[in-house]
Amino acid sequence: MNAYEEYMQGIVQPMRQELVGSGFTELLTEEDVTAAMTDHKGTAVVVINSVCGCAAGLARPAVREALSQTDNQPDQLLTVFAGQEKEATAAMRNVFPEVPPSSPSIAIIKNGELAYFIPREQIEGFEMEQVRDHLTGALNQVTAS
């Protein structure tokens, strides 16, 4: 690992921990993504994490609050980190190739298929509560069907 990579690992660790500490499983390799998505059953919330301010102030807090407030809990909580684990992020994005790359973003996967997607454009510039309510509504819709 070079000095830059080592520096970035230290910077992003608290950003990772926000989700991992809330029950998310980090997918660090392409193989991790393949294992999680092959024959996927049930519902998964997938956060494509990022170092940007809208991830820190909006996406991660909104996801944590939405999950704490909804009765419609997903079966899995998964995350990849854009710009850090490039292969894992690319593999996850290949699960929903119809959606342009966006980070941060939040996907809801149901039985291996994309059921709902919240791109950066629906996170950045919004209030955290709006993003939280958007995700809560999407979870209610997807898990109820």
**CB atoms inside a 10 Å sphere around CB 44:** 22
One-letter amino acid at 145 equals S
Annotated catalytic residues are: 52, 54
Return the axis-axis angle of helices 86-95 and 30-37, rounded to nearest 10°.
30
Q: Which helix (H) or strand (E) holds 79?
A: strand 76-81
